Structure 1
Amino acid sequence: MSSGLALAALPVNAAEQNGSESTLILYSIAPGPLASTLNEFASTAGITLTFDPAQVRGLNSNGLHDRYSVSNALHMLLANTGLQANRTASGAYILVPGVSRALPTVNVRAEAVSTSTEKTLSYDREQLDKINPQDIKDVFKREASVAVGGSITANQKVYVRGIEETAMAVSIDGARQNNKVFHHNATNLIDPALLKTVRASAGVSPADDGPGALGGSLVYETIDVADVLHADETLGGFADLAYQTNGEIFGAKGALMAQTNGFEFLAYANKLHGGDYEDGDSNKVHFTEPALTSVLLKAAYSSADIGRFEISHDRTEDDSARPYRANLMSVRGRPVPESRRYDLERETTVFEYSRDTGQGLFNPSILISDSATRVVTTEVPLSPNDQIIINNGGTSSTSAKLKNVFHTSFAHISAGVDYYDDTAKFREEINPEFMQEKAENIGIFTQVRHEVAKYLDLSYGVRYDDQKFTGTDGSSFDEQGASANLSTDLHLGQYVSVNAAFAKVWGGVALAENYILNDAWDYSRAILPVESDNYSVGIKSHYNGFILEGNLFETDIQNGRVPSWREGGDLVADFLIEGFDVLFGYISQRGEITLGYADIESKKDGKAATSYDGNYFTAPLGRLITLNAELNFHDTKVQLGLNGEKALKNKKIEKEGRAQRGYLVLNAYANYQLTEQLRLRVFADNLTDRAYADRATYGQEFVDVVPIYEPGRSVGISLRYQF
């Protein structure tokens, strides 16, 4: 190979696509020259691996004969060579001189087989550690087709290809999330610092990702002991201190973990505190002080003979005074108190057993979980001002999944049954009784994944769901429906592949937002179950480090529930979200640069959807451009990065009063590995000190709404010690 040539191996193993970090693959690679063993490894794992032939000249490898994750396999192949493989933000791997790890991904835990054609985006622990996200917006900032509205943890919502996360099947550590509490605050409160992987399957998601995936699925996984400790280490952890100038924000987080004789223990905590930030015009944005507290506890036992048992509990809370409507500053002509207290809390408890050897017909897993989100608002009304009003809303979901993976010579088949019992509750202080809606669902599913002649990857599946819905008045009715999906990836030679996907989804009846529940609603006219049709086609190309990707997509949602406290609980609407995205970039040993563009249009009942119309379904996003660059100085252990977002003016909703303004924001960072255990990070967000509201932030099109502006320039520093 010539210097810098990317080994763009075709995905030839359905068990490990796109460099999934936690799936185990069976390797049979004979000892020999390192260059040839790496070539064979990249082909088997289905990854892109880049190195200079001069790096490996004269080096040999002992080969590989067993089941390993990608990270562990590379660690074994490169042992005693003085080299290591770093994963880039795009998912490729680059061979570099050995440097100290900051937070490596060495997880050997097996997960459900998945394919690259199912994934719209995927981040592993190494990539997330490089991003060093302070909030969920940071996780997705490099994606042109993913927008996060809101400026603080308490009001941020994620939109994947224009689909709001509530219209997706969202899970944390496999636990179903049912978090439609109050449209003025965040949907899924989560601490990104505890994440090890994030995966999105926009539009078309596999049947085993769960029910209700109208716009696809969004999967979060939290860190395990094996994400930090090597197999020969028994005790370790990390401590992280950070400071930002804008708002004088201080954060401290850390984890302590241990492993011995198959047992694992992990404890993690994070705390942020500070003041209100200033926007780009040096105006104080009141009631934006950070107030995040999060905790994660895990215990597990693994055995090659009997499998893995794990129990975990995570809790995230944001409790502080916020703008009266937490996702906007004010509405002209509608006098309300300037602020009220939002106590927003999400917690999830999960028990999981799994045993997947990667072969044979008996590879069972069982997952039982309980998750809940609660929002308590406390306010003093304008008159009389001696009264305190407390409202309490909460959603909960008890869910379970029993699944088996059949590994055959023909395909990997995932089949099983899942269940959820969701509840939405609301109570005013003056009324001791909770109003509630409930939905109980049992589903059966199967998903088949295989390749045909090493040129065509296929993933297809079906599920059938039976749901019982109960309204606030106690009336109930049953609904049933089927869903199906198909994803294909055809490799046209070594450098080009084309993909296409389709899904028809039956979502049942969605629970209403807690804060609009009304016990006077009339359910005599049954609510129509929501359904969706999803399509996407795309192309991927790579050559000598250059990459080019493009996708067309459409999600058509029918009978999306849009209840109103005043007008009733049986209202529905149709939503159409369509658009395209492209990505162009170059990857080399020294780093990478990518440029992304997305154009997304959303409609409700045939008309352009506003941020009000699209609550829990979509938002007006328009045209977004992202730039990401990374430069590595391996000899000095320094890494420099730059990312930016350009939002073009959006006139498609100007009829509501005004167009969404365009903006350009740039962020930069530098990582420096001071010692084997100590890493320094310096970053500057919003370098040009631009005053702007993020494109997905609520209310910019309405002349009577004052939206929340993002923070102005902020310089920060963080120090991580790993032991």
Structure 2
Amino acid sequence: MNLCHLAPLTGVSVIALSTSLLAQEAQISQNPGITVLAPITLVTEGQESVEATGGVIVSREDLEALKPSDISDVFARDSAVSVSAGTGPAKRVHVFGIEQSNLAVTVDGVPQFGDNWHHAGSNVIDPAFLKRVDVDAGAAPADAGFGAGAGAVRYETLGARDLLTDGRSQGGRAGLSYGSNGRGLSASLAGYGVYDGFDWFAMLHSAQGDNYENGDGDEIAGSETGVTGALVKLGYEFEGHRVEMSYEHAVDDGDRPAKMNFDLPREEGAVYPLKVTRDSLSLRYTETAPTASWDPEALIYLNRNEYDRPDYIEGGTNGDMNMQAEGFGGVFKNRFQLGQGTITAGVDFSYADYTIDNYESGPIIGRDGLPTGEEYVRIHNLETAQIGTFVQGRFEFSNGIDLSTGLRLDHHRFTDWNGERFSDSGASVNGTLSYEFAPGYEIFAGASRTWLGYDIGEYGYLHARGSNTITEPDFEAASSENYKIGFNASQDNWTGNITFFDTRLKNLPNAYYSEETGLNNLDNIEEEYRSKGITLQGNYSWGSGRVGASITAAKLTADGQKILPEGGDVVPIGEVASIYVDQEFSQYNLKLGGNIELANKMSGDYLTAAGFEEPAGYGVVNAYAQWRPQQYENVVVQLNVDNLFDKTYYERSSYVANSERGGGIRPIYAPGRTVSLGVTVDF
């Protein structure tokens, strides 16, 4: 990374952090400044306002209204986030067209593995357990974690205190729903409570269904629902201290196509058993009565992702493999309260071990039907290790200026399948400044330069690599740059935001077959990936209801050339939008709402010249009704109608149809009209 580029941001960070530390010696405010217009404030209570800088917040209110069945539903109201493909392990989450493996992704603070294979999804997240999701798009704070190349995604899950009603020390929740078009039966059961310093939460969830049909009535092979999960949290508070242990288990199990993110006509309807599992165990310590100088948090975690498919092809590889990623790590940090805001400082570390078994042995046969001279390597092992230190300051000044700025220093080590070791260290810097020039009106600008280490990404590529595959000696650490500038407004019951963003990813790894060199070696991608565009958000509330919209237009390029829609780490999204509305009718204990997902048509010679079709635009309407019987306020009845007008379409970040590659490739279409009826009972 160019040190000249780091200098300006580093200077701002050091000056801001040093100034605030000196000010603390003179005075520590017991009540940090609170801005009047919280919806647009850049910094509030020590955290950035995500939406105020072009990011996404999926609140608990949103989740309660949407009752999402999968990760696509979670982000259905936010144009900045797109989710590809059909169901289960095929789904990949993209922010501004950049796959979330290039973001720092956590669940309850526990870092998650990236996507393991370019035909598989990002990770297995069961929406039934979610309480909130925050998405930092672009520049992310230093305490977001290692690898925040294009931002951060923070998933938060439910706990006992989230569901307990006033005055109760224990309770439970049961849910049951049934949906048409393959949605099938979904059931959940939770129990929770508090007693004498202890609190507990346990929840089980299962959803089982069949293949769905698209809007034309065509069955999508391998799209059946098969999700099972469990979440357990145990907490204990004593003398100002809190310890919490959490365990999450999520499984997607079903028959899937060989390549989950597109359809191969030559394998019409062919599906194979696939089981994808995610386990996470964590232990967290916090203070329940922190002071201005002592507000610590310590987290230790173990996690494991497993991809298990039987050996269904004899003498070759087409996705029949077993992949495992196991890791452990920790985060130790403390937040210092200052007169102008807070400073969070700490260290984090992680170790991960990756294994892939392709079941194969013997000589590799090339595309011409002749031996290549290589031998299959049945089992590949590789590992990574990281340790970092960080400091992030968040300040609110009385003159209307807010500042968030921070630094990270990381050391990263990568050991490949041949035992070759690569290690290096790097610095990351971020800064976001806002100015409220009039009551309710604010401008902001932000930038970051992030060192990503040896981002191996999709280690699953090794399933089809032979004995002479190596990591190139000049393999380098990856990095990113983020810039954004925008304007926020908030008056009475409406808010609005416009953000211009520019994200650049450099030296990402590449291990795909090269027609030019004939090699499969791990090396850096020479091209610079870039996502540049604009996103707008706005909402209006009238007490009993609200309406909102978001629009995102992004141009995705590689060294200035437009990206092809191949469903990878960086995909074109064009112009997309989402409009939503919610309305309560208190006299009937009824709530109605819905949203419209919109995407423009994508066209151009760059598509057709590469054999791709021009993706059509689409508009998809989803609606819901939620009713609480007056005599039974602990009961909620929910009706959802997704894709109300039975539109035939595939989600924007999906793989687009191509008539030339592999004998023809077709996209995975989204479900047609799907009706679900469910009931939730609190007891």
**Counterpart-to-counterpart distance in 2, 1:352 and 1:420:** 16
Aligned to 1:138, what secondary structure does the other structure show? helix
Aligned to 2:507, what secondary structure does the other structure show? strand
Does structure 1 residue 551 correspond to structure 2 residue 511? no
Distance 1:462 1:683, change over 3 A: same
Identity %: 27
Does structure 1 residue 671 correspond to structure 2 residue 605? no
Which has the higher mean CA deviation after the structures are superposed, 348-357 or 460-469?
A: 348-357
Does structure 1 residue 527 correspond to structure 2 residue 475? yes
Q: Which residue of 1 aligns with 2:642?
A: 685
Equivalent runs, 1:256-655 vs 2, <5 Å: 256-303=191-238, 305-330=239-264, 338-355=270-287, 357=289, 359-381=291-313, 390-430=320-360, 434-453=379-398, 455-517=400-462, 518=465, 520-523=468-471, 525-564=473-512, 566-573=519-526, 574-612=528-566, 615=568, 617-652=569-604, 653-654=606-607, 655=609
When the two chains are superposed, the root-mean-square deviation of aligned CA atoms in Å is 2.6
Aligned to 2:61, what secondary structure does the other structure show? helix
Contact 1:581–1:597 (CA under 8 A) maintained in structure 2 = yes
Distance 1:384 1:521, change over 3 A: closer
Distance 1:474 1:114, change over 3 A: same
User: How far off is 1:378 after superposition?
Assistant: 2.2
Equivalent runs, 1:189-204 vs 2, <5 Å: 189-204=124-139
Aligned to 2:350, what secondary structure does the other structure show? strand
1:304-345 alpha-carbon deviations (Å, 9 max, x no partner)? x3321111110111111111211112155xx69822221111
Contact 2:242–2:286 (CA under 8 A) maintained in structure 1 = yes
User: How far off is 1:267 after superposition?
Assistant: 0.9
Structure 1: segments with no counterpart, 5+ residues: 1-25, 29-40, 49-89, 92-109
**Counterpart-to-counterpart distance in 1, 2:592 and 2:403:** 38
**Counterpart-to-counterpart distance in 2, 1:647 and 1:124:** 24
Q: Which amino acid aligns with 1:541?
A: A
1:114-136 alpha-carbon deviations (Å, 9 max, x no partner)? 44556712233233112211111
**Counterpart-to-counterpart distance in 2, 1:118 and 1:397:** 32
Which has the higher mean CA deviation after the structures are superposed, 514-523 or 641-650?
A: 514-523
1:199-257 alpha-carbon deviations (Å, 9 max, x no partner)? 11111111011111110111111111110014632211211111111115110012111
Aligned to 1:126, what secondary structure does the other structure show? helix
User: How far off is 1:418 after superposition?
Assistant: 0.5
Contact 1:509–1:528 (CA under 8 A) maintained in structure 2 = yes
1:421-463 alpha-carbon deviations (Å, 9 max, x no partner)? 1222211224696312211111010000111115122110000
1:334-389 alpha-carbon deviations (Å, 9 max, x no partner)? x69822221111111111101264541111111111112111122533x799x999
Aligned to 1:378, what secondary structure does the other structure show? coil
Contact 2:658–2:666 (CA under 8 A) maintained in structure 1 = no
Does structure 1 residue 721 correspond to structure 2 residue 669? no
Aligned to 2:523, what secondary structure does the other structure show? coil
Q: Which amino acid aligns with 1:352?
A: R
Does structure 1 residue 251 correspond to structure 2 residue 186? yes
Equivalent runs, 1:31-46 vs 2, <5 Å: none
Which has the higher mean CA deviation after the structures are superposed, 560-569 or 665-674?
A: 560-569
User: How far off is 1:189 after superposition?
Assistant: 0.6
Equivalent runs, 1:695-714 vs 2, <5 Å: 695-700=652-657, 704-714=664-674
Contact 1:500–1:537 (CA under 8 A) maintained in structure 2 = yes
Contact 1:438–1:511 (CA under 8 A) maintained in structure 2 = no
Contact 2:110–2:282 (CA under 8 A) maintained in structure 1 = yes
User: How far off is 1:666 after superposition?
Assistant: 0.4
**Counterpart-to-counterpart distance in 2, 1:504 and 1:495:** 30
**Counterpart-to-counterpart distance in 1, 2:319 and 2:619:** 41
User: How far off is 1:45 after superposition?
Assistant: 7.8
**Counterpart-to-counterpart distance in 2, 1:676 and 1:47:** 32
Count of residues paired in the alignment = 620
1:519-576 alpha-carbon deviations (Å, 9 max, x no partner)? 5322351311101110111111133433322111010111111222652111324201
Contact 1:380–1:389 (CA under 8 A) maintained in structure 2 = no
Contact 1:378–1:388 (CA under 8 A) maintained in structure 2 = no
Distance 1:414 1:319, change over 3 A: same
Contact 2:58–2:75 (CA under 8 A) maintained in structure 1 = no
**Counterpart-to-counterpart distance in 1, 2:381 and 2:45:** 36
User: How far off is 1:46 after superposition?
Assistant: 5.4
Q: Which amino acid aligns with 1:394?
A: Q
Does structure 1 residue 227 correspond to structure 2 residue 162? yes
Distance 1:576 1:44, change over 3 A: closer
1:622-652 alpha-carbon deviations (Å, 9 max, x no partner)? 0112111111112221111020111110115
Aligned to 1:510, what secondary structure does the other structure show? coil
Q: Which amino acid aligns with 1:628?
A: Y
Contact 1:592–1:629 (CA under 8 A) maintained in structure 2 = yes
Distance 1:513 1:595, change over 3 A: closer
Distance 1:425 1:605, change over 3 A: farther
Contact 1:540–1:547 (CA under 8 A) maintained in structure 2 = yes
Distance 1:384 1:498, change over 3 A: closer
Distance 1:150 1:603, change over 3 A: same
Aligned to 1:375, what secondary structure does the other structure show? strand
**Counterpart-to-counterpart distance in 2, 1:510 and 1:427:** 21
Hey, which bits of structure 1, 4+ residues long, moved more than 6 A? Answer: 41-45
Does structure 1 residue 184 correspond to structure 2 residue 119? yes
**Counterpart-to-counterpart distance in 1, 2:451 and 2:422:** 16
Contact 2:258–2:271 (CA under 8 A) maintained in structure 1 = yes
1:261-295 alpha-carbon deviations (Å, 9 max, x no partner)? 12111111111112111110011112211000011
Asked which structure has the greater RCO (Cα within 8 Å, sep 6+), the reply is: 2
Contact 1:563–1:572 (CA under 8 A) maintained in structure 2 = no
Distance 1:42 1:209, change over 3 A: closer
Aligned to 1:643, what secondary structure does the other structure show? strand
Distance 1:394 1:605, change over 3 A: farther
Structure 2: segments with no counterpart, 5+ residues: 1-28, 362-376, 514-518
Q: Which amino acid aligns with 1:457?
A: D
**Counterpart-to-counterpart distance in 2, 1:402 and 1:592:** 40
1:144-164 alpha-carbon deviations (Å, 9 max, x no partner)? 111111221221111112221
Q: Which residue of 2 aligns with 1:217?
A: 152
**Counterpart-to-counterpart distance in 2, 1:505 and 1:547:** 31
Contact 2:359–2:378 (CA under 8 A) maintained in structure 1 = no
User: How far off is 1:582 after superposition?
Assistant: 1.4
Aligned to 1:618, what secondary structure does the other structure show? coil
User: How far off is 1:600 after superposition?
Assistant: 1.0
Contact 2:298–2:331 (CA under 8 A) maintained in structure 1 = yes
Aligned to 1:327, what secondary structure does the other structure show? coil
Distance 1:331 1:528, change over 3 A: farther
